C-alpha cells in the first residue's frame, strides 16, 4: 500500500502518493495548514524515531506527549509568527498508522488571535442589538451601524494579519516539514 499524503502549505492543497499521483486545488482561506499521511509502520516505531532524533540534533525542539509530537524552533530563533508542527500519530493496525499534521503559530499567539476574533464578534453583535433597538424606537442609529462596519473592517484586518504571518513563515514551515520527512524516510535505513 502506497503512502498517501495531503499537504496544504502554499495556498494549495497537494494530494500525492508514492506512485506520483497528485492534485492541487486553490485554497486561500486556510490559516493553519493541515495534512494526513498513511504510513505502513506502527505508530510506536515512528514515535521512537522522533525520540531518537530529539537526542541527536539541536536545530529544532522536538517534544512528545503520548502520540503527539511537536516540532518547533529554538527560543532564540523564534519570532512572533514562527510556526510549529504538531503531529498526531494514531495506530490503525499493528503494521500501519495515520499521521495527522498541523502547522500553526505558537499556541499562545493563536489563542490571542482567536480571543481578538471573539471580542470583535461580540462587539459586532452588541452594536447590532443596539442599532436594532434604536431602529425600533425610531431614533438615530447611524453611530451603531458605523461601529458595526468598523468591527467588520477590524475582522478583515485580523484575517489579513494572519495571512501575512502564514506567508512570512512558509520557509520555516517547509524546514519543519523536512525534519518530519527525515524521520519518516528512516524506514528504508532501519
Give 114-133 as a 3 state SS string.
HHHHHHHHHHHHHHHHHHHH
**pLDDT tens figures, 14-73:** 443 433 333 334 445 566 788 888 888 888 888 888 888 888 887 888 888 888 999 888
Q: Are 163 and 31 in contact (CB under 8 A)?
A: yes
Give residue for cell 494572519: 162
**pLDDT tens figures, 87-130:** 998 888 888 888 888 888 888 888 898 999 999 999 999 999 99
pTM: 0.69
Spatial CA neighbour of 81 closest among 172, 183, 11: 172
H helix runs in 14-102, sequence order = 43-56
Adjacent-strand bridge partners of 68: 65, 88
The per-residue pLDDT for 10 is 42
More confident residue, 135 or 7: 135
Residues with Cβ within 8 Å of 121's Cβ and at least 6 positions away in sequence, in order, are 151, 155
Spatial CA neighbour of 22 closest among 2, 42, 52: 2
The per-residue pLDDT for 187 is 60
- Tell me which H or E stretch contains 145: helix 142-168
Task: Read off the pLDDT of each residue in 140-144 and give the average, rounded to a whole number.
Answer: 95
Amino acid at each position: 500500500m502506497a503512502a498517501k499524503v495531503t499537504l496544504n502549505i502554499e495556498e494549495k492543497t497537494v494530494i500525492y502518493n508514492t506512485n506520483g499521483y497528485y492534485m492541487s486545488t486553490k485554497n486561500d482561506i486556510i490559516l493553519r495548514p493541515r495534512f494526513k499521511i498513511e504510513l505502513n509502520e506502527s505508530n510506536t516505531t515512528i514515535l521512537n524515531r522522533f525520540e531518537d532524533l530529539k537526542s541527536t540534533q539541536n536545530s529544532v525542539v522536538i517534544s512528545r506527549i503520548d502520540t503527539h509530537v511537536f516540532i518547533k524552533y529554538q527560543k532564540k530563533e523564534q519570532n512572533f509568527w514562527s510556526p510549529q508542527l504538531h503531529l498526531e500519530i494514531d495506530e490503525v493496525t499493528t503494521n500501519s498508522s495515520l499521521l495527522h499534521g498541523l502547522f500553526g503559530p505558537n499556541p499562545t499567539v493563536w489563542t490571542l488571535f482567536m480571543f481578538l476574533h471573539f471580542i470583535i464578534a461580540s462587539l459586532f453583535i452588541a452594536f447590532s442589538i443596539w442599532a436594532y433597538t434604536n431602529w425600533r424606537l425610531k431614533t438615530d442609529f447611524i453611530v451603531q451601524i458605523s461601529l458595526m462596519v468598523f468591527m467588520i473592517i477590524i475582522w478583515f484586518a485580523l484575517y489579513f494579519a494572519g495571512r501575512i504571518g502564514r506567508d512570512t513563515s512558509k520557509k520555516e514551515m517547509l524546514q519543519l516539514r523536512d525534519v518530519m520527512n527525515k524521520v519518516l524516510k528512516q524506514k528504508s535505513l532501519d
